């Protein structure tokens, strides 16, 4: 598999010219020489407000809604507890995607089963991979991913800040008369997230070093561990496609027992049985390890709960870790 993401409408747009709507189809129309005025009636190409935006994960949907304000209605396809690695779009999802003015997805193969449909949709409307904005030098390329980048970028808040740029740019493209307002919201959200990043750093540093280890069901927290200086041990690989084998369980049990790690964690979007198997095996070796609570990894919590938005989800995870390990 390659690292290249789907060529987006936006990147094509910026190269080729201006997009015009004709007979229900989107056509790219070259403007020719620079400085030429847009063709008459070009404003008709702008979709009506509020924009219809569909995002794959809840984290992207929440971020896009914060940036768009009342200029858009953003819907996330993957609800609480949904595993994006395994998610397949239903007929209803495909309908929503086909009606959207803008589609936002994570990329880096997180939405492993949606590649074909996103390619098709990108021919007719802007389809933006928010991870495209993250410099390659900051992307993790763990050996177990065999040449692919780790897609779990949202748990390094400093990386997630990069996604504000392409989302805002796509919104400005669709609602250019609201540029100032959109850019002001981007700056204010950037400041909030910088504050969150500093808070996470401080909280994790309060865990004694020998206990600063998080054992979880799958390797969703690689970026988190790297940014906030906590060792991360996942029972499964980066994707949840392969369930934890017996060897993995054995390796983790030895480590937890030897280091007397007080707690291990379950994840909202991954079955808890592998983590329970580790707990039982540790008990057999005379080490009682607690299940330190549920971490939100690839999906946020229920809407209306504190974990139902991106920042709340990050805070929940950090508080859960700190209380169980400190």
User: Does 67 help bind Zn ion (rule: CB under 5 A)?
Assistant: no
Q: How far is the CB of 297 from Zn ion (least distance, A)?
A: 6
Residues from 10 through 49 that contact Zn ion (CB under 5 A): none
User: Does 267 help bind Zn ion (rule: CB under 5 A)?
Assistant: no
The neighbouring-strand residues paired with 263 are 290
Q: Which is nearer to Zn ion, 248 or 298 (CB)?
A: 298
Q: Which is nearer to Zn ion, 9 or 228 (CB)?
A: 228
User: Does 153 help bind Zn ion (rule: CB under 5 A)?
Assistant: no
Token couple for 104:
């936002």
User: Does 295 help bind Zn ion (rule: CB under 5 A)?
Assistant: no
The pairing of strands 290-295 and 263-267 is parallel
User: Does 266 help bind Zn ion (rule: CB under 5 A)?
Assistant: no
CB atoms closer than 10 angstroms to residue 310: 23
Q: Which is nearer to Zn ion, 9 or 221 (CB)?
A: 221
Q: What's the rounded Cα separation, in Å, for the pair 163 and 178?
A: 19
Q: How far is the CB of 241 from Zn ion (least distance, A)?
A: 10
Q: How far is the CB of 226 from Zn ion (least distance, A)?
A: 16
User: Does 111 help bind Zn ion (rule: CB under 5 A)?
Assistant: no
Give the range of 24-32, 155-163, 187-195, 293-301 binding Zn ion by CB under 5 A: 293-301
Which residues are CB-contacts of 102 (< 8 A; sequence separation ≥ 6)?
51, 52, 53, 54, 72, 125, 126, 127, 128, 170, 171, 174
User: Does 298 help bind Zn ion (rule: CB under 5 A)?
Assistant: yes
Q: Which is nearer to Zn ion, 197 or 298 (CB)?
A: 298
User: Does 217 help bind Zn ion (rule: CB under 5 A)?
Assistant: no
Is 118 in contact with 105 (CB distance < 8 Å)? yes
Q: How far is the CB of 76 from Zn ion (least distance, A)?
A: 16
User: Does 220 help bind Zn ion (rule: CB under 5 A)?
Assistant: yes
Q: How far is the CB of 296 from Zn ion (least distance, A)?
A: 11
Q: Which is nearer to Zn ion, 40 or 147 (CB)?
A: 147
Give the range of 17-25, 74-82, 188-196, 298-306 binding Zn ion by CB under 5 A: 298-306
- Binding-residue total with Zn ion (CB under 5 A): 2
Q: How far is the CB of 238 from Zn ion (least distance, A)?
A: 7
Binding positions for Zn ion, rule: CB under 5 A: 220, 298
């Amino acid at each position: 598999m390659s690292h290249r993401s789907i060529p987006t409408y936006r990147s094509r747009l910026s190269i080729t010219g201006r997009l015009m709507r004709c007979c229900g189809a989107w056509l790219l129309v070259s403007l020719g020489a620079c400085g030429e005025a847009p063709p008459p009636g070009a404003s008709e190409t702008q979709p009506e407000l509020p924009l219809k935006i569909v995002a794959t994960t809840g984290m992207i949907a929440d971020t896009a809604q914060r940036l768009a304000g009342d200029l858009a209605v953003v819907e996330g396809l993957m609800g609480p507890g949904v595993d994006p690695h395994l998610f397949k779009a239903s007929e209803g999802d495909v309908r929503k995607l086909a009606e959207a003015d803008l589609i936002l997805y994570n990329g880096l193969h997180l939405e492993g089963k949606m590649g074909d449909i996103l390619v098709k949709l990108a021919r007719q409307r802007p389809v933006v991979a928010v991870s495209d904005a993250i410099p390659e030098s900051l992307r993790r390329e763990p050996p177990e991913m065999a040449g692919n980048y780790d897609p779990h970028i949202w748990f390094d808040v400093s990386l997630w800040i990069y996604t504000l740029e392409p989302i805002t740019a796509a919104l400005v493209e669709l609602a250019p008369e609201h540029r100032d307002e959109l850019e002001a919201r981007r700056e204010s959200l950037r400041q909030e997230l910088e504050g969150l990043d500093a808070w996470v750093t401080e909280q994790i540093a309060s865990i004694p070093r020998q206990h600063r280890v998080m054992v979880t069901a799958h390797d969703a927290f690689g970026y988190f561990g790297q940014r906030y200086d906590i060792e991360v041990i996942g029972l499964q690989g980066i994707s949840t496609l392969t369930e934890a084998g017996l060897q993995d369980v054995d390796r983790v049990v030895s480590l937890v027992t030897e280091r007397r790690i007080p707690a291990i964690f379950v994840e909202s979007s991954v079955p808890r049985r592998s983590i329970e198997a580790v707990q039982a095996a540790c008990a057999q070796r005379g080490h009682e390890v607690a299940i330190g609570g549920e971490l939100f990894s690839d999906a946020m919590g229920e809407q209306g709960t504190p974990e139902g938005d991106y920042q709340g989800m990050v805070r929940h995870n950090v508080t859960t870790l700190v209380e169980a390990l400190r």
